[in-house]
Structure 1
């Protein structure tokens, strides 16, 4: 089965199974604070290894989606999806009983499988007439699933079964995802592949801005529970912040779906950065629990509101589609770099330094967006 890019709107039967697989693959990022904290409490990881495990998982995703985008045609997708799900199932089963470096390796394997599924999703989005709307649907569904799983893990599974039950739940999710494989498109028209290779300079700058944005988000998010504990909040209150953040993601995704065709991608991105910096100030300002939870909610809202505008932003500066196929790479690279840089910062300066580090990443994203605009103006001033 192939999907033609010529139609103004893709049939639901074409994109829904791919979105379902992408949701199941991508929801792990939002659950990392809870899952890694369970491994920490069980003595399977120390604080430094938490960052390494998060980095390994994101690195696996980034590596898989990049290699696939550069080297593989979007064909035989059911075979690739099946192999990806097998890898994820093996990784989650192994994490239930592993420890230390073994867990870090297993999370890398899970990332590889998830990255393959996200490559398929990005390929479908890059060929869609409405990429912002479909991406918003994807992140909203991912947020709903993440919220449901976080509530089940923190309220029911973790108290009774600990990390074994939590990763067992993910194993069950992998099994359910198998149901979407037979229904998905097995390939896209080769005519829609577009030219290969690196995009132009402006597209590269925009892609780097995506990386910086997600680095600022994930570098803080994976350490949210230790950060809030260090700020003096009770464990139950800190855990509530994760749930509030995940719930706010739903609102962010819904608003992005509503505004996807009504607001400029660059404008939405800039507003999101400003709001994210404000959220960091609310969470780190030694205020009341209510203020902290408001900050966590705003942070989760921005996390999901901004990424749907990444694809339209890069397509606006690179209509060839070369940059669009690297959106997954740029976003996932941010989820790698954020925790990777955060780990030594925590070791050297303590966990509280991550508030400033996250803000610095977000400011860098804003500067890169300004640089991309400056490059446009410079090119336009050059006489032909």
Structure 2
């Protein structure tokens, strides 16, 4: 039976998983690619303090890097053949390290250009990790492990870099460390897979159908909802009466619970239908948004932010599983990273336009609209068969 016949006949086509060691190396490269997502406040904030970026350039640099990362990941998934993978990823890691190093020599617009280049290289690195997750026998568990390790690594470096190398060498010390990590990833990639098994083809060939596109749109909107709220948490905390120290505590608690959310999602695995899980999580998130809108007290605000952090990472593996249930050829799941990253960059940009010089609660309206649209799409998507 062909892969297309398998899909049409209601049977999920077989996908060959890479060996465990190669899969671990691939996920490690993906973790390195996404380190900057958790370190942007540390790196870009330090550049502003050192006079190398203006306040407006911080937002532009952050958005450009994430957009470049997402676009490069999506283009790599669509255009790169899963053969001769080692030299491709080793080169991407080397160029990523070079972009980190060149950033130490630049300021202003030069930083924005180098961060865009770094994002493009990281997108190719992430392509490998997503390709391995998409081919895993239990992709939801592989995705859960990936987001948990990724978040933990970001937390460790976000705490360690300012307390160590940045004390003596400023932001350039942090950038040099990140360049060294990318060089190590380049060496490690030589022990990763050199070839990934081809994905099955459906009746549409290699094209995504309307259901797959709708699923990716739901992921895009979900991430736009999350990050649009996340970037405005501090001013929302001030409106709720929290001191800067209490706001920092709320954010730190949310970051810690993100790790627990990833662990919990890994433990649950595919025992729960992904669409139902995401709809339930969306309902709880809607209640969180409503509570924040109502002008809650300090204690309840911190509780809502902590729950928001837990649900953030708990949802991500189920996005992977939903896309695989929608498209068992797993081609839609190969575009998951692009959808997540583009949504993560579009959300704050749209929120900034909505808020402008007006009340910060406008970010809650934008987040609620994105969440409602995402849930609407998920509710009408009915997987053809289990993956």
TM-score scaled by length of structure 2: 0.85
Equivalent position to 1:220, from 204, 224, 229: 229
- Check the 8 A contact 2:241/2:298 in 1, yes or no: no
Measure the CA separation in 2 of the matches of 1:332 and 1:252.
19
- Check the 8 A contact 1:125/1:131 in 2, yes or no: yes
Measure the CA separation in 1 of the matches of 2:248 and 2:160.
13
Shift of 1:48: 3.3
Q: Hey, what does 1:200 align to over in structure 2?
A: 209
Measure the CA separation in 2 of the matches of 1:35 and 1:219.
20
Q: Hey, what does 2:255 align to over in structure 1?
A: 246
> For the structure 1 residues 42 and 349, does the alpha-carbon distance in structure 2 shift closer, same or farther, using more than 3 Å as the test?
farther
Equivalent position to 1:52, from 60, 65, 80: 60
Measure the CA separation in 1 of the matches of 2:235 and 2:91.
35
Q: Hey, what does 2:143 align to over in structure 1?
A: 135
Aligned pair 1:338/2:347, yes or no?
yes
SS in 1 for 2:330: coil
Equivalent position to 1:357, from 346, 359, 366: 366
SS in 1 for 2:52: coil
Measure the CA separation in 1 of the matches of 2:149 and 2:272.
22
> For the structure 1 residues 51 and 371, does the alpha-carbon distance in structure 2 shift closer, same or farther, using more than 3 Å as the test?
farther
Measure the CA separation in 1 of the matches of 2:246 and 2:212.
41
Measure the CA separation in 2 of the matches of 1:94 and 1:134.
34
What are the superposed Cα offsets for residues 253-284 of structure 1, whole Å, 9 maximum, x if unpaired? 11111111211111221222233334445666
Aligned pair 1:113/2:127, yes or no?
no
Greater shift, 93-102 or 257-266, is seen at: 93-102
What are the superposed Cα offsets for residues 273-329 of structure 1, whole Å, 9 maximum, x if unpaired? 233334445666655554333333222212211111112212212223332222222
Shift of 1:79: 1.4
Q: Hey, what does 1:29 align to over in structure 2?
A: 37
> For the structure 1 residues 245 and 59, does the alpha-carbon distance in structure 2 shift closer, same or farther, using more than 3 Å as the test?
same
Equivalent position to 2:320, from 292, 299, 311: 311
Shift of 1:43: 3.6
Root-mean-square deviation over aligned CA pairs: 2.8
Shift of 1:186: 0.8
Equivalent residues, number: 370
Shift of 1:189: 2.9
Q: What are the ranges of 5 or more consecutive residues in structure 1 without an aligned counterpart?
A: 377-384
> For the structure 1 residues 105 and 6, does the alpha-carbon distance in structure 2 shift closer, same or farther, using more than 3 Å as the test?
same
What are the superposed Cα offsets for residues 108-135 of structure 1, whole Å, 9 maximum, x if unpaired? 1111111111111121122222100000
Q: What are the ranges of 5 or more consecutive residues in structure 2 without an aligned counterpart?
A: 1-12
- Check the 8 A contact 1:48/1:347 in 2, yes or no: no
Q: Hey, what does 1:166 align to over in structure 2?
A: 174
> For the structure 1 residues 367 and 130, does the alpha-carbon distance in structure 2 shift closer, same or farther, using more than 3 Å as the test?
same
TM-score scaled by length of structure 1: 0.86
Measure the CA separation in 1 of the matches of 2:97 and 2:252.
25
Measure the CA separation in 1 of the matches of 2:170 and 2:236.
22
> For the structure 1 residues 30 and 241, does the alpha-carbon distance in structure 2 shift closer, same or farther, using more than 3 Å as the test?
farther
Shift of 1:252: 0.7
Shift of 1:237: 3.5
Measure the CA separation in 2 of the matches of 1:237 and 1:197.
50
